[in-house]
Amino acid sequence: MRIKEMLRRARIAFGKFLFDRKQNSSFSKLDRILFLRKDGKVGDYIVSSFVFRELKRNYPDVQIGVICSTDNYYLFKDNIYIDDIYQVKRKSILSYISMGIKLKKEEYDVVIDPTVFIRNRDLLLLYLIEAKRYIGFLKQDYNIFDVSINEKELHFSEVYKASLELLGCKSVNTKYDIPFSPKENRDIVSFLVKHNINRFIAVNFYGASSSRSFSEENIKVYLKFFHNIKNKTFILLASPSTVHQLHNLSSDYSNIFVYEDSKTIFHVIELIRFSEILISPDTSTVHIASGLDKKIIAFYSKDIENYQHWGPNSSNETHIVFYEKTVNEILPKEIKIDWLI
């Protein structure tokens, strides 16, 4: 592990030696701005979703570009505030080089890169773009960044807000923009009508890692707990990879449902949109619920820095239950019944 870390640091140092240089350019008017979002997943998109809206509100004529990956393109493609979307293959250095050469011709005024860790291919891309200004987060050790936001305890929504304020944006509203898909909305409405469901609690058992995902045995314990709560209906949030497991585990409970045709994150969004409360260990669904102003019961590890960066940003009633190493440490009894009312 120590050798691996030494090699990583050596690669970073070599990349900085080659590409970490100031561009020495200036601009008097903000015409074109570019966001690097190639690594962002659903939660990252939700937390930063307001930046495009607020930029257009402050600078209606600004051209907004986004570099995303082929994996997360679907999150950006229908955003009405984004003018140009550029896709890269995340682990292809040739894709990064060709994109950097292409974007140099676009003459971007500002590039914003909010990531904490920057890889050499990222640094190469920034170097090739030759933007007039670069804004980053915790990049005080890099020469290419003209401005670095260095308050490491900031929530990531505040990192983006600070970036906009550096560009002169006023009264930045950090309310998340939650994507809306008419097709998935109709699918969920039909499902709710079919089962005569008017009020329900959305439950997600899975996170981005095994430590954030409930085991099958613990899911069974929670389902029994939910079944014994009088006059409450629960809908389990599923993906194509989990829907059959959840259906099999919940089929004996009359007040617990699974939407079995769940194909995309947009089905999950619509279920949360119609719910009263979300219960989840997964930050992406927590951020969706925050943006939709839902009550939240969230499970987080005791990693304080992670919680500061990615905790719920909601004005509604929110309860947090912390665990040490795995969410499976948390028992149903730690969810108070009055939280579900």
Superfamily of domain covering 2-166: Glycogen Phosphorylase B; (3.40.50.2000)
The residue among 129, 126, 128, 145 whose CA lies nearest residue 137 is: 145
What tens digit of pLDDT does each residue of 283-306 get? 999 999 999 999 999 999 999 999
How does pLDDT run across 223-257, given as a tens digit for each residue? 999 999 999 999 999 999 999 999 999 999 999 99
When pLDDT is cut at 50, 70 and 90, the band that residue 14 belongs to is very low
Query: Which of 77, 72, 67 lies closest to 98, judged by CA?
Result: 67
Mean pLDDT, the chain, rounded, equals 92
Domain ranges of the chain: 2-166, 182-340
Q: Is the pLDDT of residue 125 over 60?
A: yes
User: In terms of pLDDT, which residue wins out, 289 or 16?
Assistant: 289
Q: Is the dihedral of CA 278, 279, 282, 286 positive or negative?
A: positive
Q: Is 98 helix (H, G, I), strand (E, B) or coil?
A: helix
Per DSSP bridges, beta strands 277-280 and 32-36 are unpaired
As a whole number of angstroms, the distance between CA 161 and CA 172 comes to 7
DSSP H or E stretch at residue 184: helix 182-194
Q: Please, which residues bridge with residue 134 across strands? A: 111
- Pairwise CA distance, residues 279 & 294, whole Å: 10
**Pick from 141, 147, 142, 146: nearest CA to 159:** 147
Give the residue-averaged pLDDT of 204-219.
96
Q: Tell the CATH topology of 182-340.
A: Rossmann fold (3.40.50)
CATH topology match: 2-166 vs 182-340: yes
Residue 96 has pLDDT above 50, yes or no: yes
- What is the spatial distance between Cα 296 and Cα 285, in angstroms, rounded to a whole number? 10
Cβ 127 vs Cβ 144: under 8 Å: yes
* pLDDT at residue 340, rounded to an integer: 95
**Neighbouring C-beta atoms of residue 105, cutoff 10 Å:** 8
DSSP notation for 235-296: EE---TTTHHHHHHHHTT-TTEEE-TT--SHHHHHHHHHH-SEEEES-HHHHHHHHHTT-EE
Token pair, residue 147, equals 């401005």
